[in-house]
Structure 1
Amino acid sequence: MKIFIQYMVSLRCKLMVKSELEKLNIKYKSVELGEVVITKNLSEAKREKLKKGLRKSGLELMDDKRAMLIEKIINVIVEMVHYSDELPKVNFSVFLSEKLGLDYHKLAEIFSKTKGITIEHFIIIHKIERIKELIIYDELNLTEISYLLHYNSVSHLSKQFKQVTGLTPTFFKCLSKKQRFNLEDL
């Protein structure tokens, strides 16, 4: 049985969920971003205890189908941009559609109505945060970063970075205090 958890967007969140499951002696097969596969159905009492335990960590056990779909979209994007070694070679729309097994236009409509932002803009925001992270690590130059994140050119990356942050990547690199956001806050 699958259960879905909202706001689960980092490896730290996965650890908190595993800890809560173990505390309640709930057996699970896997814990992924936003989704947990448990071995058997939860009783209503255990479900309530899990819900309360997760809430203390800032996570929510989800029941609403639309909210679960939004969370799946968010988790696919976060995993794709922040945790995969390379972005998919296909368009994001094709990737999301294949990954979730639903028509992209339906996904985009539901996401926009619910979140008040397009999927494309949400991806851009996350790509910019990834760029900030890579700039701070200072292991790759802008050409390598633009290649890694599938930008057509460094110029395209720089233009998009400036549109979102108001800064050029070079100026951002020079800042003494790097402005990054927690993934949970995006």
Structure 2
Amino acid sequence: MKLYIKNMVCNRCKMVVKTELEQLGFNPVSVQLGKVELLQETLSTTQSETIKEKLNKFGFELLTDKKKQLTEQIKTAIIELIHYQTEPLKSNLSDYLSKKLNTEYAYLSAVFSETEQSTIEKYFIQQKIEKVKELLTYGEHSLSEIAFQLNYSSVAHLSTQFKKVSGQTPSEYKAFQHTIRKTLDEI
């Protein structure tokens, strides 16, 4: 059985969810960002409620609505793409998501917009900007290296998008690194 879990966006999140499920007596076969596969084929209402309550204590949400599950799969695919893959995207985002989720992009877009009141593209850009902030904070790469790594056509394009989303230029952000970054689940 597959469980879809909102706000499970990092390796530490995966570890917490796996540990909590094991303590409850469930056997996670696979724990991935946003998704857990259990050995059990079905869950009783009581078991679902127990899991839901336990995960809520850690800021996670067990998703039962199909559209919310799909939206979480879209977010997870984007987070994996931006924050965990080392190779840049070789196709456009719509093709990538369609192939990854085996669903027409028009449907993905409609469901995402309905559940999030925003577009997939805006979410994608917000994730990219958070990655830029992370890389600027570490200070190990130049802006041109960051632009290349995140598949921007130019440093100017990255800078324009960064200012539009964050209200600061990359240079201003770097100079005032006390600016609080958002966690991935807050985007």
TM-score, with structure 2 as normaliser? 0.95
Q: Can you give the 5+ residue segments of structure 1 that lack an aligned partner in the other structure?
A: none
Corresponding residue number in structure 1 for 2:7: 7
Q: Can you give the 5+ residue segments of structure 2 that lack an aligned partner in the other structure?
A: none
Q: Structure 1 residue 3: deviation in Å? A: 1.2
Instruction: Provide the rounded CA distance (Å) in 2 between the counterparts of 1:74 and 1:87.
Output: 17
Corresponding residue number in structure 2 for 1:55: 56
Corresponding residue number in structure 2 for 1:160: 161
Point out the more displaced range, 130-139 or 15-24.
Answer: 15-24
Q: Structure 1 residue 26: deviation in Å? A: 0.7
Corresponding residue number in structure 2 for 1:170: 171
**Cα 1:172–1:120 shift into 2, 3 Å:** same
Q: Structure 1 residue 47: deviation in Å? A: 2.2
Corresponding residue number in structure 1 for 2:124: 123
Q: How many residues align?
A: 186
TM-score, with structure 1 as normaliser? 0.95
Q: Structure 1 residue 176: deviation in Å? A: 4.3
Structure 1 residue matching 2:114: 3-state secondary structure = helix
Please tell me whether the aligned partners of residues 86 and 149 of structure 1 are also in contact (alpha carbons under 8 angstroms). Answer: no
Q: Structure 1 residue 87: deviation in Å? A: 2.9
1:122-175 deviation line (CA, Å, top 9, x unaligned): 100110000000000011101110000000001110111011111111111111
1:64-102 deviation line (CA, Å, top 9, x unaligned): 111100110111111111111123211011000000000
For residues 24-173 of structure 1, the aligned pairs below 5 Å read 24-41=24-41, 42-173=43-174
Instruction: Provide the rounded CA distance (Å) in 2 between the counterparts of 1:105 and 1:146.
Output: 28
Structure 2 residue matching 1:8: 3-state secondary structure = coil
Please tell me whether the aligned partners of residues 137 and 177 of structure 2 are also in contact (alpha carbons under 8 angstroms). Answer: no
Structure 2 residue matching 1:40: 3-state secondary structure = coil
Point out the more displaced range, 62-71 or 3-12.
Answer: 3-12
CA RMSD of aligned residues (A): 1.2
Please tell me whether the aligned partners of residues 5 and 61 of structure 1 are also in contact (alpha carbons under 8 angstroms). Answer: yes
Structure 1 residue matching 2:14: 3-state secondary structure = helix
